[in-house]
Amino acid sequence: MSEQEHWERVFLSNPPEKVGWYRPNLETSLNWIKEILADREALIIDVGGGASTLVDDLLAEGYRSITVADLSKTALELTRKRLGEKADAVTWIAGDITALDLSSSAYDLWHDRAAFHFLTAEDEQQKYLNNLKKALKPSGYLIIATFSPEAPPRCSGLEVERYTPDRLKSFLGPDFMLKRDRKELHVTPGGVEQMYLYCCFQRKG
Nearest to 117 by CA among 75, 76, 156: 156
Torsion 23-24-27-32 (CA) sign: positive
Q: What is the pLDDT of residues 90-122, one digit of tens each?
A: 999 999 999 999 999 999 999 999 999 999 999
Q: In sequence order, what are the beta bridge partners of 198?
A: 145, 182
Q: Percent of the chain, pLDDT > 70?
A: 93
C-alpha–C-alpha distance, residues 79 and 76, integer Å: 5
Over residues 11-31, mean pLDDT: 78
Is the confidence at residue 7, as pLDDT, over 90?
A: no
Residue-wise pLDDT tens digits, 37-83: 999 999 999 999 988 999 999 999 999 999 999 999 999 999 999 99
Of 39, 83, 38, 34, nearest to 58 by C-alpha is 34
User: Do 100 and 131 form a contact (C-beta atoms < 8 A)?
Assistant: yes
Domains defined along the chain, listed by start: 3-203 (3.40.50.150)
Residue 195 has pLDDT above 90, yes or no: yes
**Inter-residue long-range contacts of 73-78, CB under 8 Å, 24+ positions, other chains counted:** 73/8, 74/7, 74/8, 74/11, 74/12, 74/50, 75/7, 75/11, 75/16, 75/50, 75/51, 76/50, 78/11, 78/16, 78/50, 78/51
pLDDT of residue 6 exceeding 70, the answer is no
Beta bridge partners of residue 178, listed in sequence order: 201
Strand segments, DSSP code E, in the chain are: 43-47, 65-70, 90-94, 107-113, 136-147, 154-155, 158-159, 176-187, 193-203
Query: 136-147 and 193-203: which strand pairing?
Result: antiparallel
**DSSP classification of residue 16:** G
Is residue 21 scored above 90 in pLDDT? no
Tell me, what amino acid is at 169?
Answer: K
| Average pLDDT over every residue of 135-150 | 98
Q: Which helix (H) or strand (E) holds 82?
A: helix 73-83
Average pLDDT of the residues of the chain: 93
Q: Are 48 and 131 in contact (CB under 8 A)?
A: no
Q: How confident is the model at residue 10 (pLDDT cuts 50, 70, 90)?
A: low
